[in-house]
Amino acid sequence: MDNIDLIPKKPKEEPFWQELLFYVSFLSLAVALLFCIGFGVLAKRSSLELEKINQELAKEKTQEQIETETQVLDYEKKVIAFANLLKKRKPLSKIFDFLESEVHPGVYFTKAGFTTDSDIFQISGLADSFQILGQQALIFKENLLIKDINLKQVGIGKYGGVEFSFEVFFNKEVFEEKKEAKAEELLPEETSDPEISPEITSEVIPEE
């Protein structure tokens, strides 16, 4: 017959180190969770700051692009203006040759050229007197290669004489290659016929 122990036994106690290990493990897990949450918050904040920085850089880049485009447009305008000047270079040489033959002995020009973005040729100069200035204006008006003239400024010069400024509108014939031929065609023929000169001489001599 088996012996039955009727005396109750004390429950077996766990070692202290096991309980300590449990609490340490729990605490480590809690600390790890806190670190994970903290790193997540920092990562999100860093991502937002990085996005803001990228947006600022994008704005600065856009501003630089706008400034670059503005500079390119300015250079393009300058190139176009320079190209227009080159186009007018050849006509200018012809106009100067033409004016040299039409200037009054008592007048000299100090400045001449086309005004900006127009076909108006502006001449500035000095005349010995108002009478000579009027004669110069009459010479221009009687020339068929000049469409019209406009006296813009007139006044007494600082050192004497009459300062003036003309706006001259040329006919297109002045820019053609055969400028002199065109001028001869437009001007009335007076001495082109060799038979006319004897008749003029015969009329003048009896009057004397």
Q: How far apart are CA 69 and CA 157, in angstroms?
A: 47
Q: What is the pLDDT of residues 39-95, one digit of tens each?
A: 777 888 888 888 888 777 777 667 777 778 788 888 888 778 767 666 655 556 677
Distance of alpha carbon 95 from alpha carbon 109, whole angstroms? 13
Q: Is residue 94 part of a domain?
A: yes
**pTM over the 0.75 mark:** no
Residue 20 placed within a domain: no
Measured between alpha carbons, how far is 163 from 154 in angstroms, rounded to an integer? 6
Asked if residue 149 lies in contact with residue 167, where contact means CB atoms within 8 angstroms, the answer is yes
List the domain range (segments joined by +) for residue 160: 89-188
* Residue pLDDT, tens place only, 69-78: 788 888 888 7
The answer to the question of residue 179 being in a domain is: yes
Task: Name the domain count of the chain.
Answer: 1
Q: What is the CATH number of the domain that holds 100?
A: 3.30.1360.100
CA–CA separation, 119 vs 121, rounded Å? 6
pLDDT tens-place string over residues 140-173 = 888 888 888 888 888 888 888 889 898 888 877 7
Residue 198 lies in a domain: no
- Is 95 a domain residue? yes
**Is 101 within the bounds of a domain?**
yes
Task: Identify the residue whose tokens are 């082109």.
Answer: 192
